Amino acid sequence: MVMILDDRGAARQARHGAATFRVTLHAMIRPQPPTRRAILRYAALSGVAGLTPGLAGCVADGLVTDTVGGRAPERQSALDVSPVLLVATTRKAVGSPPKSPYFSSERGRGLSFAEVRLSAPDRSLIGKVSSVITDDWAVTAVPQVETGPGAAGAFAQAALGRDVLIYVHGYRESFQSAALSAAKLSDGIRFRGASGLFTWPSAAATFDYGYDRESALWSRDGFEDLLKALANSPSGGRINIVAHSMGTLLTLETLRMLRAEAGEAAMARIGAVVLAAPDIDIDLFTSAVERMGSDVSKITVISSTKDRALELSGAIAGGVVRAGAADRERLEALGVRVADASDYGGGLINHDLFLSNPDVQGVVKRAIGRASGGA
């Protein structure tokens, strides 16, 4: 497997060959839904193979694991075991009690908190084969929403004693799509702590880039309140943040505020900060990073010079290159870690590789591991 090397100065391993490109291109083409007969036939054949003695290991969720006593332990995320997503949002809730789509694109009154119930993917054989016609994760219920001064503390209480992974989405995202991306990210890296989402009021529309940018910046106070509550929790764990696209602007601005107002004690609780395809003017990004001081070492940037979405946003913003599309050397000079994903993917957009490419997800996993004291 070709891996992305995200340590500074590390040499990049061999690039994808023609065969890998063909496999990637084929994977992007949505296959036709399998017939019931085909599913049952595949299940039967795989079942026979699963009973074959003498195998050194087996594949579970795409991971090769050694068998122990004839059984292969399944490596699961905490979210897969207990599918509850902790959500903090500045969106306006829909209905009381909440009803689908639960949160709108309108701006709410302050911060809200909800424990969102999800349905996990079907891990059975037939479920895996038929997954081409269904979404893996789904939002099933939002029992209640707490809005107001107690929302941030309620989130911190729900995550008490655990490390937390907070996903901050980007431009053109609904609450539902952001929640599913948070679930896919947490499950994809097999995160063992509490899975969280900070969702701001994106219009979820192609031509509302300006509204989204203003909504993201308007949400800074709410995000800062959440981070302060988590940092002040006496039995809380480490706070890891993965932000995507326009969500990286919100994240960087909020961390600057947190560092200035709450100081080193609060920043000490921040673990990994992964900025995936940051949709930020490179000059603004440089200014923000320079104000982070020693905390710049917490930041990992996943960049790509072939990100077509960032090319478009750069054109809209006056032609200044976006941080997520800048050259690796320019980013590394700022003191951040860089994972250059320019040679990965194979699609036309290449803007969400941290959700779709296992190697890029590995960058996120290693960043969190380093922040927790691992390798």
pLDDT at 126: 55
Q: What Rg, from alpha-carbon coordinates, does the chain have? A: 21
Per-residue model confidence as pLDDT tens digits over 185-203: 999 999 999 999 999 999 9
Question: Residue range 26-39: average pLDDT?
Answer: 40
Domain segments of the chain: what residues?
18-66, 78-371
**Percent of the chain whose predicted confidence (pLDDT) is above 70:** 75
Per-residue model confidence as pLDDT tens digits over 297-352: 999 999 998 888 898 888 877 778 999 999 999 999 999 999 999 887 654 456 78
CATH number 3.40.50.1820 given to 78-371: yes
When pLDDT is cut at 50, 70 and 90, the band that residue 101 belongs to is very high
When pLDDT is cut at 50, 70 and 90, the band that residue 123 belongs to is low
- Pick 334 or 7 by higher pLDDT: 334
To the nearest whole number, what is the mean pLDDT of the chain?
A: 80
pLDDT at 56: 28
Alpha helices by DSSP H, listed for the chain, are 18-28, 36-50, 78-81, 125-129, 151-158, 175-188, 209-218, 220-232, 247-267, 282-290, 308-316, 328-332, 353-356, 358-371
Strand, coil or helix: 334? coil
pLDDT at 329: 95
Say whether pLDDT at 51 is over 50: no
pLDDT at 121: 85
Per-residue model confidence as pLDDT tens digits over 154-187: 999 999 999 999 999 999 999 999 999 999 999 9
Question: Residue range 30-42: average pLDDT?
Answer: 40
pLDDT at 33: 45
